[in-house]
Amino acid sequence: MTGRMAEAAAAIRHHYDVGTDFFALWLDRSLTYSCAWREGEGDTLDTAQQRKLRYHLDAVGAAEADSVLDIGCGWGSILGALSRDHGVSRAVGLTLSEDQAAYVRSRDYRGVEVHLRGWQEYEPGDRFDGIISIGAFEHFARPGDTSAGKIATYRAFFDRCRSWLRPGGALSLQTIAYANMSRENASTFMQRDVFPDADLPTLAEIAAAADGVFDVCSLHNGRLDYAWTCEQWARRLRERRSQAVRLVGAEVVARYERYLKLSALGFRMGKICLLRLVLRPFPDGYFRTGGHR
């Protein structure tokens, strides 16, 4: 593992390897640690998370797919659905969290494999019908990167995803992004204590990185969905606070409570947003043979 990858892995472990039992206290039953898709007042967290998972699965045609890659697979909610609900013969997950990888392997999902590595180091044996990446993209850039540097990193990611997709395949991407707030105005607490060594993209940086590589077929901003999701998580954590303190200690619990409160506020105020994009590769030679920019 390269120096940069080792630093990224350490940052991921700082946040995600607190303990699966701790996250299970306040996430939904599928342990989906990303923005839900809310449609009405009657939605529960479980219902809204399942709707979000179906959206991404439908975006890559999971019902007809033979193989799907999940970059940043978390505790395997997408991988489980691919195996259990769609009978996908090969579902591959990538994560930098040892706890998450161990949990996915313990589920013994049919046709599922999980690798403890990032997209920069992964080399698939064959192409995929679809790629899903939920909540990983915001960890790809580092705080010291220039905008041009971030775009170069994102473009490398898009180039690799494109090379891994079979003709007709799609990439379904979900990421937090800066909205009406710059990196310089971001919370020091969030940058230092919650997600160290990471920086959010902007929509403009994502578009620049994808230009000529992927066609952006759809784009949704779910920032109010994420505000609601964080509020649901915070409520559930408060209700189980004594159990949480026994598991990880009062200091860690207080850190997550503050993080969830600040996140919900940031989404409500439009400082940050939640982007859901479906992208399809441009054909080989598109620009070289007369395609238009």
pLDDT, tens only, 145-157? 999 999 999 999 9
**pLDDT reported for residue 283:** 79
Tokens read off for 205: 């940086």
Task: With CA atoms as reference, report the closest residue to 13 among 121, 92, 101, 112.
Answer: 101
Sheet holding 165-178, edge to edge: 112-116, 90-95, 67-71, 128-134, 165-178, 272-281, 214-221
Q: Is residue 92 within 8 Å of 132, Cβ to Cβ?
A: no
Task: With CA atoms as reference, report the closest residue to 69 among 126, 110, 130.
Answer: 130
**pLDDT reported for residue 189:** 65
**pLDDT reported for residue 2:** 54
Task: With CA atoms as reference, report the closest residue to 136 among 218, 58, 56, 227.
Answer: 56
Tokens read off for 253: 């619990």
Task: With CA atoms as reference, report the closest residue to 17 among 74, 92, 70.
Answer: 74
Tokens read off for 172: 């379904």
Residue 227 has pLDDT above 90, yes or no: yes
Whether the model clears a pTM of 0.85, i.e. scores above it, the answer is: yes
- Please indicate whether residue 287 or residue 106 has the higher confidence score (pLDDT): 106
In angstroms, the CA 128 to CA 141 distance is 25
Strands 90-95 and 165-178: unpaired
CATH number of 3-280: 3.40.50.150
pLDDT in tens, 108-159: 999 999 999 999 999 998 999 999 999 999 999 998 899 999 999 999 999 9
Provide the phi-psi class of 87: left if phi over 0, else alpha when psi is between -120 and 50, else beta.
Answer: left
Range 55-79 average pLDDT: 98
In angstroms, the CA 101 to CA 113 distance is 9
Q: Where are the domains of the chain?
A: 3-280
Range 168-176 average pLDDT: 97
Task: With CA atoms as reference, report the closest residue to 35 among 53, 19, 11, 18.
Answer: 53
